[in-house]
Structures are given as structure tokens and as C-alpha cells.
Amino acid sequence: MSTIKLHANEQQFLESEWLRRAERPEAEARVRSDYQRWVSRVGNSQLVSRAGKLWGLLTSGKIAGKEKLAVLAALLYLICPLDLVPDYIPVVGWLDDLGIAACVLAYVLRKADDFPAGATSRETSDQCTLQIDAASLPDSGVLASDQEDLRFLRDLKRVCALLRAEALLPAVEEIELRCQRPLFRVMFVGRYNTGKSTLINRLLGADYLAVGPLPTTKAITFMLPATKPQVFVEGSDGTIQAHKDIGILQDKSHPALLEAARVSLMLPSEILRRSICFIDTPGLEDPDLDTTALLREYVSEADALVFVLDTSYTLGDPERQFIQRLLADDRHRKLFFVANKIDKIAPAELPMALDSIRQELEALDVTPQIYPLVADCHRDQGTTVGFRQFRESLLMFLDEGRTAEQKRIIRREIGNLTNQLEEVSAAQRQFAAAEETERRRRVRELQEQQYAAQETVQRAQAELTKRIAILQSGLLADIDEFSADLATVTCRRIDEASLEELRKTDVLERSIRELTKSFLEPRLTRIREQLGELTSDTIRQMTNDLRRLPFSIEVLRSRSLLEESPQIVTAGILVVAFPFLSLFSFLYVLVGVLLGRNVLEDLVRNLMGRCALNKLRAELKSAVRSQLEEYARQLTERLNVQFREVEAVLKGQLSTVADQVLAPVTAVLETGTGGTSPTVAPAQLSEALSILHTVRHESQQGSQGGGDV
């Protein structure tokens, strides 16, 4: 079996081509210019943490020579999207990066003694020696777009350089990554229990995903083409586990799935071999899932969507809002509307139910084709026409229409970027055409705009800091009160519990975790609502992290010897009495003891049980108070750290939005020296305008292909 084996030790990595790339003069400049943009698009918190430690080593000035080259090589590897395991493969794409980062950190930490805070020797990860079966990875396929689109993007990069519009380079790179992604992503969306997973299973030809009347999908699940089945599970903390047994997906209580954020399922499926990736999503009404965040993070990366509806229900608010936001972003998105569970509707009433769905969609300015069917093959009695029609339409689109749809999406993004650069160009031309006095006036105006915007951002950040501090202090005060109440409630429960209940080691611990969960989750949800949708991911990760906070009560809970064997008392009485009694007296005592043995042993057992109960209650109360103090301290520490992360995320978002809005202003200001000698010469402006005109004209040809809703 062929395998892709990550560099098993630092020596192999140090002898690879990446070290030679790090030796090039431009290597460090590239890392310094690209690192922050890479961090902003990486979705794995553990990888970001390890990369941050590498970045800290690079910028600390405390390493040199081969160690610095190794760190540079690792960062170059991480930044490159098309490395050993391409980053466009969900979940799996981070495995090689995690391994390389761990290996280089381990190497550097063994070579030196003094490093910045946070770089610890714990980075000797098992992922240094990770092996991935090559058969478990999707074929690289062909580029999703032809070389013409990549040429357009190279031209737009040139325009960014000519106009000094570096703030728009991340947008160019995002489109480049989409061009280089061979997998066509089809996302299945809908409310809970509409049959998304059932429909996917039927399309794949086997029951791979769990189904049932209760919510079964909590993690975003990607199904990818492979010749060998395998599952990769990414936890909310960024850890990734590989499982050869794909049957774990049927076990809703499997530990790997309880805290999973994303799952990649590699399958030897005929439909996926077309370089297709299916994506199963939680229900739109999931309280732990912000639909706006879903739209922004995953739907924007999907190439087509299958919207699964329950025919027996009308459209709800989550569905309406989702469709409105979706079409506001791109009116021409390819959508398949599936009306599932038509077997729940009487045949005579089915046309009316479908008309009702159609009218509700038309009210949202959608004129779709609706596919009525029964996704569950076990309930699809007598006919499979509806499913066959949907499957044939989907396959026809995947075979014949997906290339045009990919091109349409990419050309649309190129068009949007071209519009932004034209705005920058217009501002530059206006500035260049003005007289010297007018230029100076214009520079002052632009500087005032820039200062005003910066002050607005600073005020917003200060207000944000104040608001977060209020929310944080309120929650921490609630935790102090909750901790005291929790101790009282737990001690009361200890007083009320029987000896057998107290000896069950996990009863109190489970109760405390459940009470903590019911205390924290509604408060964190309210904080997320007050701070806005941009904090959804961080607050959700905070909730999961706090939910896993360990709590254990360590006391001796075993039974005493007399409780376990009260017959020892009977034997003891006889042994003690024998030397002091005559034979006949001893026989009388023996007969009496034997006749009253059960009563005596029950008396001893009850007496020792009461003693044990009182002792265990006292020990448990003492242990609970002590452990709850430590538990509250850990909660407080975690919350302090996570609130700082929330603040950093929101401040970063504010700065990013400000940079994008001010891109034309910044570009003009950076091209002038005191407003009298613009470095963007007329020839540069003319070249930029000519490139933009060519890109717009040529990219619009054929960009109307694809699929309207």
C-alpha cells in the first residue's frame, strides 16, 4: 500500500527542498508579508497556535543559523497551500502542516535554552511521524479554472502593485486558491430532520451517515473521493484524529464525535470520483450554529447547494433568512430544491403542498425547479421516479454544467475585485490630475478622513474593550455566586443521598458538570448576541472548552471490612468467649449466636454503614468545597484568556473593515510625498487602467454561464 509519510524527524525536513527555499534572499520577506494573511484564513486553532510559536521564534531575534532557516522553512511550508497534502482538502489538509510545525518546534527547542514565552518543549507531537494512506486522499484532478483566470489574477496583482493597493492582495490570493481547488463542493442545507443525511446516503449508495428523528449532524461533514474509506475528525480545539473504521459515524455517542467541529469522510464512491465533495451541515435552527457564520465560512466556498425541505411543513424563518442572505450575496447561485417526505402527504394533497412551497419561494424572488421525492429508500414504496429525476439532474449538472458554474463564480469575484481597483485608480487619477495647491488640499482632506476613520476605529475598539470588560466582570461575579450556590446545593444533595448513591463515583461529578453547563451556556449565548455574529466561533469554542474542564472528587469510597464481612463479629464473640466459659455454657452461647446470627450481622452492618455514611458525607463535603474553589479558579482563568481572544478577534475585524474601506484613501496617501510628488506616475496609472479595462472586457466573455436559480 502506498503511503504519504510526513517528515518523520527534523533531519529529513532539514534535507528537503523547503530548507533550500528558506535560504533564498527573498524568503524571510515573503514570510513576513504573507504570514498574517495566512493566519486570517486558517481554520484550525492548533495549527495557528503552533505557527504563532514559530513566528514568535522568527521575530524574537533569539535564533540564527540553521535554527532560523528551519523555522523559515516551516513557515514557508505552512503558507504554501499546495504542499504535500494540499490545504484545500478539508481537515486532512492541515495534518502535514501540524506535523511539520511540531517537528521544527521540537528541533529548535532542543537546540537552544532561551525562547519567548509560550514556546515549550511539549511540542514533541506524534504528528511528526504521522503516515497518511495515499488512497485516502482525493485525486488532485484538474484545476477548477483554466490558465486564463490565473492570468487575470496575475494582472490584478500587478495593478495592486502599480496603485500601491496592497490591502487588496488578500482578496486576489483568495480567488487564486479557489482557482487551484479541483474539488467541486456541493453543500446540503436545511432544517433539522428534513432528510439531508438520508439523501446523501442514498446518493452515495450506502448508509455512511447517521440518520434518525433527532438531530444527527452537529459537525460540518465533508465527503471526499478516495479508493479506501477512512475518517478524519477535527475537534473544536484543533486536534485531528484518523479512524479506519468509518462505522464510528453511526455512533452518535462516540467520544471523537461529541466535540467534533469538522469531519472528513474519505469514500470510494462513484459519484464522488468526479472530483466532487459533498458537505452535510447541521440544521439551520441549530442553537449552537450561527447561520450567518455558516453562510460566511462554508456556503461562500460551496459551488452548488441542495436545499432539502420537508414537504409536510411550510418554510420557516431560518430557511427564509438563509435564502435571502444567500441570494443577496450572489443572485445566480446554483440551487437544487428538494421536497422530501412526500409519502407523508396524501397523493391528492401533494400538488397543493408543492404549490405552497413554490409560492413561498417565489415570494423570496426565487423561481426554482422543485424535486419531490422520498429520500429514504426503505420508505420509497412502489416508485423511485422522484429520486431518479433529482439524481439524474444533479449528475447532469456535475458532468456538463459545473465547469461553467465554477468559471462564473470566479469571474464574478474577479469582477468585484476589478471594481474595487477601479475605485482606487479613479482616486489616483483624480489626485494626479489636480494642481499642486489642489493636491495639497486633497491630501489634507484625505488625511483628515484617514485620521477620522482611525479615531472612529479607536473609539469603537475602546468602547468594545469597555463592553467586554463589563460582560466579563458580570460573568465572573456570577461565577463567584454560582460557585457558592453550587457548593450549598451539592452539600444538600450529599446529605440527602444514600450511602450507595454516594459511593457511585461519577454521580456528583456529573451533576456538577451539568449544573455548570446549564449555568454557562445561556450566559455565553447572551454575550454572543450582544457582541455580534463575528464572535460566534470564539464563543462556541469557549463553550466547548469550558464544557471539557475537568472536575473530580477524590475520596475513599470503599466499604470497611466489617461492612463487607459482618460475620467476623460472630466469630470474634465466640473466640473471646471460649476461654472464659465451661463447655456447656459455651455450647449455649454458640447456639444463641448461631440462631441470632442474621440479626447480629444486620445490626453490625447497619451500625458500620451509618458510621461510614457520616464519615463519607463529611469527607465529600470537605472535598467538594475544596474542589469547587479550584474549579471556580480554573473557570475564571479560562474565561479571562478567552475574553482576551474575543476582544482580539473583534478588534482585528474592526481594523480589517477599516483597512478595506480606506483602501483608496490609503493608496493615494502612500503615493505622495507631502502631496506634491506622487510616486504613482501617469504612466503607471495609465498601465493600471489599461490592465483593468482588458481584464474586465475579457473576463466578462463567457462569465454568464452556470446556473441561475
585 SS3 class: helix
Residues paired with 305 in a beta bridge: 187, 335
Q: Which range, of 150-159, 400-409, 569-578, averages the lowest pLDDT? A: 569-578
| Arithmetic mean of pLDDT, 168-195 | 86
286 contacts: CB under 8 Å, gap ≥ 6:
192, 215, 218
Instruction: Name the amino acid, one letter, at 573.
Output: I
Q: pLDDT tier at 186 (50, 70, 90 boundaries)? A: very high
Q: Region 583-605: what's the mean pLDDT? A: 58
Q: Is the pLDDT of residue 261 over 90?
A: no
How many residues are present in the chain? 709
pLDDT exceeding 90 applies to what percent of the chain?
A: 8
- Does position 152 have pLDDT exceeding 80, yes or no? yes
Most confident of 223-227, 449-453, 475-479, 618-622: 223-227
Do the beta carbons of residue 269 and residue 297 sit within 8 Å?
A: no
Q: Is the pLDDT of residue 244 over 70?
A: yes
Confidence of residue 97 (pLDDT cuts 50, 70, 90): confident
385 has a pLDDT exceeding 90: no
Please tell me the pTM assigned to this model: 0.68
Mean pLDDT for all residues in the chain:
75
Cα(264)–Cα(267) distance, integer angstroms: 10
Q: Please check whether residue 562 is in contact with residue 550, taking contact to mean a CB–CB distance below 8 angstroms.
A: no
Mean pLDDT across the stretch 399-423?
89
Residue 397 has pLDDT above 90, yes or no: yes
CB 172 within 8 A of CB 237: no
Q: pLDDT by residue (tens digit) across 669-699?
A: 665 544 444 456 778 888 888 888 888 888 8
What are the CA-CA distances from residue 576 to residues 9, 272, 563 (Å)? 72, 83, 21
- For the ranges 77-81, 132-136, 401-405, the maximum mean pLDDT occurs at 401-405
Superfamily for 183-225+269-383?
A: P-loop containing nucleotide triphosphate hydrolases (3.40.50.300)
Give the integer Cα–Cα distance in Å for 541 and 634: 16
Give, in order, the Cα–Cα distances in Å from 705 to each of 195, 328, 370, 415, 693: 31, 19, 21, 15, 21
User: pLDDT by residue (tens digit) across 481-500?
Assistant: 888 888 888 788 777 777 66
Alpha carbon distance 216, 316 (integer Å): 20
Instruction: Specify the pLDDT at position 372.
Output: 92
Highest-confidence segment of 413-427, 455-469, 496-510: 413-427
Radius of gyration (Cα) for the chain, nearest Å?
33
pLDDT at 119 exceeding the cut of 50: no
Strand partners, 225: 267
pLDDT band at 7 (very low <50, low <70, confident <90, very high): very low
Residue 125 banded pLDDT, cuts 50, 70, 90: very low
Give pLDDT tens digits for 216-237.
557 889 999 988 888 998 887 7
Q: What is the mean pLDDT of residues 103-108?
A: 84
589: buried, middle or exposed (CB in 10 Å: 19+, 13-18, 0-12)?
A: middle
Q: Are 284 and 190 in contact (CB under 8 A)?
A: yes
Whether pLDDT at 306 is above 90 = yes
CA angle at residue 77 from 75 to 78, to 5 degrees?
65
Q: What are phi and psi of 309, to 5 degrees?
A: -115, 150
Range among 116-125, 248-257, 574-583 rated most confident: 248-257
Residues 271-275: contacts with CB under 8 Å, at least 24 apart: 271/203, 271/204, 271/395, 271/398, 272/138, 272/204, 272/223, 272/224, 272/225, 273/225, 274/184, 274/225, 274/398, 274/399, 275/138, 275/139, 275/141, 275/142, 275/182, 275/183, 275/184, 275/225
Q: 63: Cβ–Cβ under 8 A, 6 or more apart, which residues?
A: 57, 71, 108, 112
pLDDT at 278 over 90: yes
Q: What percent of the chain has pLDDT over 70?
A: 69
Residue 402 pLDDT greater than 80, yes or no: yes
Distance CA 395, CA 235 (A): 33
CA–CA distance, 337 with 335 (Å, rounded to integer): 6
- pLDDT band (50, 70, 90) for residue 600: low
Ordered by start, the domain boundaries in the chain are 3-133, 183-225+269-383, 464-558+614-661
DSSP 76: H
DSSP state of 379: T
* pLDDT band (50, 70, 90) for residue 120: very low
175 vs 384, which has greater pLDDT?
175
What is the pLDDT at residue 222? 92
Residue 224: what are its φ and ψ, rounded to 5°? Answer: -125, 150
DSSP 185-216: EEEEE-STTSSHHHHHHHHHTS--S---SS--
Report pLDDT digits (tens) over 510-537: 777 778 777 877 887 787 777 765 566 5
